[in-house]
Amino acid sequence: MANTHTALPRVAYFCMEYGLDNRFKAYAGGLGILAGDYMKGAKDYEYPIVGIGIKWKQGYTDQMIDAKGQPYDTYHNYNYEEFLEDTGVTVTVDIRKRPVQCKVWKLDRFGNAPLYLLDTDLPENGEDPWITGQLYGWFGEERIAQEIVLGVGGVRALRALGIDVDVYHFNEGHALFAGFELMREKRVQGATFEEAWTKSREQIVFTTHTPVVQGNESHPIDRLLYMGANMDMTPAQLKKIGGDPFNMTVGGLRLSRKSNAVAQLHGVTANDMWKHVTGRSDIIGITNAIHLPTWVDADMIQTAENGGDLWAAHLKNKRALVQFVKDRTGVELLADNLIIGFSRRAVPYKRSDLIFSKPDIIDPLLRDRKIQIVFSGRAHPLDDTGKAIAANLVAMSKKYPGAVVFLENYDMTIGAALTRGSDVWLNNPRRPKEASGTSGMKAAMNGVLNLSILDGWWPEACEHGVNGWQFGDGFEHADESILDAHDRDALYRVLTQEVLPTYYDHPAKWVDMMRASILGTKEYFGVKRMLEEYYELLYKKG
């Protein structure tokens, strides 16, 4: 396709994961979904963007539930060659002082701008083919090896492919070593460390994601040296970039000329969180968005626009969800009664069990099936706390048969079914820990009403009682038990006094809210606006 924006900067987007299609499991969660939607938007709107990623042999975990209701992880080898084109290019990186070959594949099969994927699963790699084995698998050294492949290998792949780049966009700190490679290129041309840093910074922009401190990866400097990630830089030089221990987000902030957070509130949170970091780039807010053709039922949008029967259009999606749940679990939900969808990564701050915390209120509503809840969500394979959260939801599905279900192995197919077919999309993280939350956008545009804490993207869209509901009024507290009690009371108040009466007693108002939800979100939270802002606020110089 012709590039209609020839004057625009050419961008290489680096990301560890891409959620493009459920047949291509190269993603774990929200970061990958964002990257996949971004690449599809780049194609739709003809931006000069290429992506750099990894061809994962086993992708992320398939997390299933055993007979006792406990999550367990399974992996299998994927044969992705049918989707990929062999570029004929192989680049070499040094890891633990050994050369590692990275084969470069090209993917443009899912309506996405060209994506180049690096692959170490080659016989000549001796001990190292498994570096690109599992997304977010294993521990520190392997993660660094993967990041050397993505970052250093990625820049070398661009050179070998002859792709000219004006802006290197690091989506999350995983890509940071690409910055080290850009600096190395300048140092071998005679630049000093400081000169190479200053010049490379002009080429790099950075997106920061998690507002949870522990979610920001760091490594002992010794480990970076042992792995060869330092690219001949001294410990003192590494420390100047990322601190000691070396924090990948701090490095990203210091190696970029501009950074962004993924919602406006997240911008405030991130600037506060990293305010102690000297010499870092400014963090602006560019709110995430979604690729509508991937996630939104076009019929819902059209019906909302032309004033047609929105409830009938929704009921088609709701019945499809009821069937989907029946096929997967044997449980038959009632299509006439309220269905709440909730699917999130299983981590404590998302509080997936908040709705169960006052049994005297919720118990009768579930027993009468006035409320039905469909849960899904995976825990990181090494996170036992997260697995206990998922196991608790499975236990609730046994306690409330027919009213609570848990869908194992959350993926794009489940995400799409839930954000189309539910009536309400519930989200109750501990504010302000949710960076953005694109699943709520999918729901909103499908006429599924958000019932959410004012966190992530929701403060930018919410008109309480008009296009969805907020609860908690933006309350924050350092003491989690105070915060949880406050939000629990607020959730029950809005649920019992507003959501349920509207659904059961005022169906015309419900449909008006659905229409307001769709019409009020479909443009601003579409990937077109996000790409325009990336170009205007992040990629463009000056």
Ligand X SMILES: *Cc1c(COP(=O)(O)O)cnc(C)c1O
Q: Which residues bind ligand X (CB under 6 A)?
A: 29-30, 33, 344, 410-412, 415, 437-440, 442
Q: Which is nearer to ligand X, 431 or 442 (CB)?
A: 442
How many Å apart are CA 230 and CA 179, to the nearest integer? Answer: 11
Shortest reach from residue 347's CB to ligand X, in Å? 10
Residue 274 or residue 525: which is nearer to ligand X going by CB?
Answer: 525
Query: Residue 517's closest CA among 454, 453, 442, 457?
Result: 442
Residue 393 φ/ψ, nearest 5 degrees: -70, -35
C-beta closer to ligand X: residue 200 or 438: 438
Coil, strand or helix: which one is 356?
Answer: helix
Round to whole Å and give the CA distance between 59 and 457. 28
Minimum separation from the CB atom of position 521 to ligand X (A): 14
Question: Among all residues, whose Cβ is closest to ligand X?
Answer: 415
* Cα 323 from Cα 406, distance rounded (Å): 14
User: What's the angle, vertex CA 417, arms to CA 414 and CA 418, rounded to 5?
Assistant: 85
Shortest CB 409 distance to ligand X, Å: 10
Q: Which residue lies nearer to ligand X by CB, 173 or 437?
A: 437
Q: In what order do the strands lie in the sheet with 258-261?
A: 85-95, 98-107, 115-119, 49-54, 11-14, 167-171, 204-207, 258-261, 283-285
Identify which of residues 411 and 487 has a Cβ nearer to ligand X in the complex. Answer: 411
By C-beta, is 53 or 415 nearer to ligand X? Answer: 415
Residue 448 C-beta: closest distance to ligand X, Å: 13
Nearer to ligand X, 80 or 525 (CB): 525
Strands 62-65 and 49-54: unpaired
Contact indicator for 466, 333 with CB cutoff of 8 Å? no
Q: If DSSP states are collapsed to H, E and C, what string results for 36-82? A: HHHHHHHHHCCCCEEEEEECCCCCCCEEEECCCCCEEEECCCCCCHH
From the CB of 22, what's the least distance to ligand X, in Å? Answer: 9
The answer to whether the peptide bond before residue 99 is cis (omega within 30 degrees of 0) is no
Give min distance, CB of 283 to ligand X, in A: 19
Nearest distance, CB of residue 6 and ligand X, angstroms: 33
In this complex, which beta carbon is closest to ligand X, that of residue 181 or of residue 434? 434
Shortest gap between Cβ of 345 and ligand X (angstroms)? 6
103 forms beta bridges with 90, 119
